[in-house]
Chains A and B, each alone.
Chain A
Amino acid sequence: MEQIDQIFVHLKHGVVAFLPEGLQPLVSILISVTAIVLVFPLLFALTTVLERKGLGRIQNRPGPNRVGLPRLPTLFPWLPKLRLAGFGQFAADGIKSLTKEDIVPREADRVVHFLAPFVLLVPVLLAFSVLPVGRNMAALDLRETGLLFFFAAGAATELSVFMAGWSSHNKYSLLGAMRAIAQMISYEIPLILSSLTVVMMAGSLSLVTIVERQSGVNFGFLHGWHVFTPWGFAGFWLFLIAACAEANRTPFDLPEAESELVAGYFTEYSGFKFALFFLGEYLGLFAISGLGITLFLGGWLSPFTFLNWMPSWFWFFFKLFLMIAFFIWLRGTLPRLRLDQLMNFAWKFLLPMTLINLVVAALWHFTNSWNPALRWLLGAILLTFSYWILGRGFEAKFRPRTYRYAS
């Protein structure tokens, strides 16, 4: 089991050991990079199909179920028709986006327009480098600045969004970009503040250390994930909401609201550049889901001690899969918010909640010697009460509208 758990690590070390001393660090980096660049885009390909199938089922349709392997009947007439339940769809989509014409508007700022998709993709890929996807499987363990690095890289995507919106010279793009900036900056604060609780408790910015801090055991079988504490539970959901907004997922997909902005900031992108944006968005979602897993859901740790024999990378990707499924579920359920609702929600609900959560986390820290049940109760009551109060004020604002003259 130990072997399977560390199989990728050993594989890499094995390959690297064959090389001369001087080349070793370079090749080691290259292998890690290749792994990230291969695995996550593949996951993206899988997710697009799963998402379309899942959304289809939610809306009582079968979703894509036709595209399988290409058959080339003239070459291989004996080959049966393989539909693979539609899982060949992503390849068809990829080929389509590669062969489509790449249109750049005449008025566009060509250089910036060209660079924007790459500026989105690179920081997102960089963010993956600090995520521990398994035991000893972080490409880069930044002992002092891991989380900071992640957020810094994540914040760089905003630049890309604005580059795309501005350079397209199109009002829809620009409006989309402006919305994106407003939204991302507003939600970055709750995102970081909710992660801050974890940093406070773990006492480290290194994501690897944060995962290790969660490996304590409760009740003899349950791992001490942060989500099992009141501040962790609240923090996880706050983080999830903010992450949803950061990744431009429904219900916070205002920057690309099809109904009013065509496609928002990437209205003027076509062909492969559009696909790159699409890829970048999904990779961003994976990265931030991965961070949520690392911070609150125990990273690569199994939930129960008796499941420890399963490989650590399995647990990470399993949790990632669940997070993605949850985001798809959310997308199939919720309509898009209005811009003022979005802003109100960030500043009047999420921000106070995260601040209160910080206080609860501090309380948790200082009541270390108390009876665990009492401690739990105190935190839960504090959070529920503030949630209720804040939620009430928030709900009062959004009663069903009455139309005085129209009805």
Chain B
Amino acid sequence: MLGSGILKGLAETAKNFVGSYIDESGLTTIEYPDERQTLAENTRQFPFLVFDGDDAMKGLRCVSCQICEKECPPQCIFIVKSKDKKPDHVGKPQFYPATFDIDLSVCMSCQICVEVCPFEAIKMDTEFELSTSDRFGQLLLHKGQLAKPNSHFQEIHPTDAAVSDAALAADKAKAEAKAAADAKAKAEAGIPRPLASSPEAVTIPPALGPPNLPM
């Protein structure tokens, strides 16, 4: 009969209405500032620069290669290369960014900068409460604001951080082994013995820095 569907619908909504007062667990709303959802591990908002050790400026992993600046789709990264060099994590002297700015209002959280960085130097943060009261000054984040310790990375993205740390450790071990081998070769150079150079030394010229990292 006409109207039976309406009655059914009315019963359904009445059930929801009354039920929501009896059992609040059915309400799907999370009342945000008071309650928070636990973020998924892969949450990403905005990049930050990873540094090792205690001093943010000294430990910055970024070598100012400017790959990320070129790759960033909306072109929101601005880097000025330093004139001098400082040692990186394996002890090799490298350039560092004299200026490293990212425009928060332009960044689209695509993570491409992270994907292309060969030095594990830039990663995505999960922080999302980024609003400021000054839309011109404070939305352009500088090197100091962007630098965050590796421990922060380990905390927010444990899986990714483990992979990244392992790659860096392998890298370092290789560099040390090579340094030791070089030292040995130097020491043995006095003995006249025609030695073919080791295959590794040929394939990886030291000037290229660390080999490709697993991404």
Contacts and interface: CB of A to CB of B under 8 A. Distances in A.
Interface stretch (A54-62, A129-137, A275-283, A288-296): A54-62
B13 A332 contact: yes
Interface residues of B, number: 18
B1 A391 contact: yes
Centre residue among A60, A62, A388, A395 by max chain B CB count within 10 A: A60
Interface string A33-77: 000000000000000000000100111111000000000000000
A314 interface: no
A383 to B, nearest CB: 13
A392 interface: yes
A387 interface: yes
Centre residue among B2, B20, B31 by max chain A CB count within 10 A: B2
Nearest to B9: A333
Contacts of B16: 57-60
A210 to B, nearest CB: 28
A394 interface: yes
A62 B23 CA distance: 12
B17 interface: yes
Nearest to A65: B31
A394 B3 CA distance: 11
A333 B20 contact: no
Centre residue among B1, B9, B17, B29 by max chain A CB count within 10 A: B17
Contacts of B2: 349, 387, 390-392, 394-395
A330 B26 CA distance: 21
Contact of B13 (A333, A394, A395): A333
A191 B31 CA distance: 44
A329 interface: yes
Given A57-B20, A61-B27, A391-B2, 20 more contacts: A54-B17, A57-B16, A57-B21, A60-B26, A62-B20, A62-B27, A62-B31, A329-B10, A329-B17, A332-B17, A333-B9, A333-B10, A333-B12, A349-B2, A387-B2, A388-B1, A390-B2, A391-B1, A394-B2, A395-B2
A310 B26 CA distance: 38
B208 interface: no
21 contacts: A54-B17, A57-B20, A57-B21, A58-B17, A59-B16, A60-B20, A60-B26, A60-B27, A62-B27, A62-B29, A329-B14, A329-B17, A333-B6, A333-B9, A333-B10, A333-B13, A349-B2, A387-B1, A391-B1, A391-B2, A394-B2
Interface in B140-197: none
A394 B14 CA distance: 27
Contact of A329 (B13, B21, B27): B13
A334 interface: yes
A349 B3 CA distance: 12
Interface string A326-361: 000110111000000000000001000000000000
Nearest to B8: A333
B198 interface: no
Contacts of B29: 61-62
Contacts of A349: 2
A52 to B, nearest CB: 13
B6 A334 contact: yes
Contacts of A62: 20, 27, 29, 31
Contacts of B12: 333
B133 interface: no
A349 B28 CA distance: 40
A69 B31 CA distance: 19
A402 B108 CA distance: 43
B147 to A, nearest CB: 34
Interface string A358-395: 00000000000000000000000000000110111011
A191 B12 CA distance: 28
Interface string B9-39: 1101110110011000011110100000000
Nearest to A388: B1
Contacts of A387: 1-2
A349 B29 CA distance: 41
Contacts of B28: 60-61
A398 to B, nearest CB: 9
Contacts of B13: 58, 329, 332-333
